[in-house]
A = this chain, B = another copy of it.
Amino acid sequence: MSRNICIYQEFLTEAHRRQIEETAAETGFTPHFFTLEQFEEAKACLQDSEILYAHSLDLLKAGPKTLRWYCCSYAGVDPYCREPSPFPSPDCLLTNSNGYGVTIAEHVIMVLLMLFRRMPEYEAVVRNRDWSNQLAVRSIYENAFVILGTGNIGQTTAERLRGMGAAKITGLSRSGKGPDCFDEVRPITELDEILPETRTLIMALPGTPETRHILDRRRIGLLPEGAYVVNVGRGSAIDQEALAEALNGGRLGGAALDVMEPEPLPKDDPLWTARNLILTPHVSGNMTLGYTCDVNVEMFCGDLRNYAAGKPLRHLVDRAKGY
């Protein structure tokens, strides 16, 4: 009996399909492709499949006990690590995809510059067809940054800040260790000491019980007057009510959120009208960037080779920890 892979993805090009077909053929698998409209067909195929490559809670829940590996094409796998577990069996492997670094880092650089260069205010000037142009601006050049989370997104962002002449880039990770693209990496337990000197805080953390409201009201109060906050990790990491108050009261200089809680944001949420807040509807990691899709497929194919050879999967997630 052939070993089947059920693939339920919208973004794949012809070249991606060929790449998956070739890797599957080399490793003794047969891939079956479904678009998002073909949920029922995918579900039927999944019953005889050993591997699922998708981003769908519903499809995963409908899988057989014999499913061995779920490759999630997103980076954030928090919905898959909550109780009750959506996995059909407790020992099914979970991998995630981290090809989002480049597109998310470009998003971070964009919103940082928009905040520093007062774009929310200049956009209002332009909407009124006015010409006032003397707002004080800040620069990435020769300034310091703190990045909460030293994974792929944090690293790729650090590299770009470096390329624009940032003076000092501090990473914060659970272990207090991290790669050389940071000037220093400190443990997250030191967050309270670091915040009072953090003029710009970039948050790129996974959504886990430990990161929930890690930036709460008290810690927002530790940030210096006029500080900026950018979040591209998970909305649950910030006490949004406290953030909106600090923005509206003028204590913070500005913020940019691509993630919030819940999503979509309710129509009457105070965030919609908070002062100097740049909101985007969870688009920083969109798969529409060709490079991101290419990396996603490459990661799946790489781990498919590992899986077939009985080697450890490179992008394995600890389902208990959530990352």
Would A281 and B122 be within 8 Å (CB), given that A139-B103, A288-B134 are in contact?
yes
The interface bits of chain A over 121-143 (1 if a CB of B lies within 8 angstroms of the residue's CB, else 0) are 01101100111111111111110
Interface residues of A: mostly helix, strand, loop or mixed?
A: loop
Contacts of A114 in B (CB 8 A): 110, 114
Residue A109 is within 8 A (CB to CB) of chain B in the complex: yes
Complex Cα spacing A137 to B258, Å: 15
Residue A38 is within 8 A (CB to CB) of chain B in the complex: no
Complex Cα spacing A295 to B267, Å: 47
Q: Of the listed stretches A157-165, A206-214, A243-251, name the one at the interface; the rest are far from the partner chain.
A: A157-165
Residue A119 is within 8 A (CB to CB) of chain B in the complex: yes
CB distance from A205 to the nearest CB of B (A): 21
CB distance from A148 to the nearest CB of B (A): 22
Top 9 closest A-B pairs, CB basis?
Answer: A163-B163, A131-B264, A110-B113, A133-B281, A136-B288, A131-B281, A133-B283, A102-B141, A126-B279
Contact residues of A between 222 and 277, Cβ < 8 Å to B: 263-265, 267, 272
Residue A315 is within 8 A (CB to CB) of chain B in the complex: no
Residue A107 is within 8 A (CB to CB) of chain B in the complex: yes
Complex Cα spacing A119 to B256, Å: 13
Verify A117–B123 contact, CB threshold 8 A.
no
Verify A122–B162 contact, CB threshold 8 A.
no
